[in-house]
A and B are shown apart, each in its own frame.
Chain A
Amino acid sequence: MTSRSWLILIAILALIVASFATLDLQWSAFGEPDALARMLEFTSAFFPPESSPQFLSRLAIAAGETLAMSTLGTLIAMVLSLLLALPASAPPSRVRMRLLRDATRLCLNALRSIPELVWAALWVIAAGLGPFAGTLALAAHTVGVLGRLFADTLENLPPAPSRALRDNGASPAAVFLYATLPQVLAQLMSYSLYRWENNIRAAAILGVVGAGGLGQMLYYHLSLFQMQESASVVLAMLAIVAAVDALSNLSRRKLTS
């Protein structure tokens, strides 16, 4: 190993040691009989999960809200991302285009740098409590992610088909519809489905800041120490995430095969 590699290794080890020292982790408490007993008591309080018809019907409504938030948030993001990806992928050949491209990319960076939970807290203030704030929060963050992915996809497209249409006198809109979009559609759909998977997981926790859905229900019951109800909410989250993951995986495989 070179002296540079040794230095990097020592720096990483120092960072790990400093992290443990700063966090003041009490490892000994893990193995203590008292702690284990409390953990067992806490876990057993979740069983059996609440399954009364009234509760399950409320759970179904909240699950529907979560599903709707993630779906609508992703759809809004897809449309806005495509619109922003066009200037963000423009060839920087002219000064005006380069400025527009850089400004759009900066905007996309800013949108995705702010996590969904922070967006939700902001939208709850602006739009009030409930799933509308959650939907906007998911859309705002996802535009940042999808916009960048869409722009990179458009940028890496082989230019020949678009060139052929442009040379034949096609308008920019016709070039986009006939040459660009059909070439990238499968890839864009695949990215969008993947983000839908992510958004269903994010939507499940956004309720913690009052943005509706299963997250809000979980926060409510945990606050009241109603563990059996909380367990049902967690199970509903697992089921919905697993179902969307499976559906999205299947669709993406079909699109890219």
Chain B
Amino acid sequence: MTDSTDSDPPMLRLQGVGKRYGTRWVLRNLDLELRRGELLVLLGESGAGKSTLLNLIAGLEPADEGRIELDGKAVQARDDDTSAALRRRALGFVFQAFHLIPHMSAARNVAIPLMLNGVAPGQALAAAGKMLAAVGLDDRADSLPAQLSGGEQQRVALARALVHAPALLLADEPTGNLDPASADVALRLLATQVREQGAALLMVTHSEHAAAIADRRLRLGSDGLHAA
């Protein structure tokens, strides 16, 4: 586990960030800081712009105003290749619908971020095996996603998001498709693994239950971010 202090520079910093579609501003004047090892949950109604905010942080969409820094470097104003390289190296994603590749085994799915970073397939698969063991799925490494339960698929997705030791993990409703018992397991693993790796977590959710793992909770409304 990596401890962070207030004197450390923030892992993620948003300053006056805004995004509009056409003439409608979805996000306006957002400020946010997130430090290593911190688990931040973002609550909000549907349509509040939570997923859009994740896309801006990941550089998948450009912000229309403000500045986003990841590990001291601006995410915006980068070309597509630089933005993709940053995501490969520094970010991990967990989605509500898991987004596993259906024709690849659990181990191969987990190995993908490593292979995208140039790790040899043999080494990547070995590391994927260890990561699957960490989420309690070492006996399911050869299973295809369709052969796994929803909870198991989300644990594979979690292993994939963390296998390359990203500095920041972005999770979009990670328990939205899970039953309460599977959701509990996934959340516990998410919190443990993020803390063990010294990463930061920014999780978007509707669920108060999921939000319970957070160190800090914010609510995104039409007038910006507020403590929840």
A binds B: yes
A contact set with B: CB distance below 8 Å: 160-161, 163-171, 174, 178-179, 182-183
Known: A160-B97, A183-B103. A165 touches B112 (CB 8 A): yes
**Contact call B87/A169, Cβ cutoff below 8 A:** yes
Q: Are B95 and A164 in contact (CB under 8 A)?
A: yes
Residues 73-101 of B at the A interface (beta carbon under 8 Å)? 81, 83-89, 91-93, 95, 97-101
CB-CB < 8 A to A161: which residues of B? 99-102
Chain A residue at smallest Cβ distance from B116: A170
Which among A168, A178, A183 is the interface contact of B87 at CB below 8 angstroms?
A: A168
B87 pairs with A167, CB closer than 8 A: yes
- Whole-angstrom CA separation of A165 from B108 in the bound complex: 13
Contacts of A164 in B (CB 8 A): 93, 95, 99-101
Contact status A168-B116, CB under 8 Å: yes
Query: Measured between alpha carbons, how far is A160 from B113 in the docked complex, in Å?
Result: 16
Which of B84, B98, B102 has a CB less than 8 Å from the CB of A169? B84
**Is the contact region of chain A dominated by helix, strand, or loop, or is it mixed?**
helix
Instruction: Give 22 CB contacts A-B under 8 Å.
Output: A160-B95, A160-B97, A161-B99, A164-B93, A164-B95, A164-B99, A164-B100, A164-B101, A165-B101, A165-B112, A167-B58, A168-B88, A168-B93, A171-B81, A171-B84, A174-B116, A178-B112, A182-B101, A182-B104, A183-B101, A183-B102, A183-B103
- How far is A169 from B95 in the complex, measured between Cα atoms in Å? 15
Closest-CB distance, B166 to chain A (whole angstroms): 9
Nearest-neighbor residue (CB-CB) of B90 within chain A:
A169
**CB contact under 8 A between A169 and B100, given known A174-B116, A178-B112:** no
A166 neighbours in B (Cβ, 8 Å): 60
Q: Please, which residues of chain A bring their CB within 8 A of the CB of B102?
A: 161, 183
B165-217 contacts to A (CB < 8 Å): none
How many angstroms from the CA of A168 to the CA of B101 in the assembled complex? 13
Interface string of B92-128 (1 = CB under 8 A from A): 1101011111111000000011001000000000000
Docked CA distance A183–B113 (Å): 19
B99→A169 contact, CB < 8 A: no
How distant is the Cα of A174 from the Cα of B116 in the complex, in angstroms?
8
A163-B103 Cα distance, complex, nearest whole Å: 15
In the complex, residue of chain B having the shortest beta-carbon distance to the beta carbon of A170: B116
Q: Separation in Å of the B56 CB from the closest CB of chain A?
A: 13
Instruction: Tell me which residues across on chain A come within 8 A of B58, comparing CB atoms.
Output: 167
Of B93, B99, B112, B116, the most chain A CB neighbours within 10 A belong to: B99
Query: Which 10 A-B pairs have CB atoms at the shortest separation, nearest pair first?
Result: A169-B88, A169-B87, A164-B99, A161-B101, A169-B84, A160-B99, A167-B93, A182-B103, A170-B116, A168-B113
Query: CA of A171 to CA of B166 in the docked complex: distance in angstroms?
Result: 18
CA distance A182 to B104 in the complex (A): 9
Q: A164-B95, A168-B93, A182-B104 are in contact. List 12 more A-B contacts (CB 8 A).
A: A160-B97, A160-B99, A163-B95, A165-B101, A167-B58, A167-B93, A168-B92, A169-B83, A169-B88, A170-B116, A174-B116, A179-B101
A168 — which chain B residues lie within 8 A by C-beta?
87-88, 91-93, 112-113, 116
Q: How far is the CA of A178 from the CA of B60 in the complex (A)?
A: 20
Which of B86, B99, B112 touches A163 (beta carbons < 8 Å)? B99
Cβ-closest chain B residue relative to A182: B103
Q: Note all chain B residues with C-beta closer than 8 A to A160.
A: 95, 97-99
Q: Which residues of B contact A165 (CB under 8 A)?
A: 101, 112, 116
Say whether B93 contacts A170, CB under 8 Å. Answer: no
Complex formed: what's the CA distance from A248 to B98 in Å?
37
A182 to B102, CA, bound (A): 9
Q: How far is the CA of A165 from the CA of B99 in the complex (A)?
A: 9
Task: Name B157's closest neighbour in chain A (CB-CB).
Answer: A164
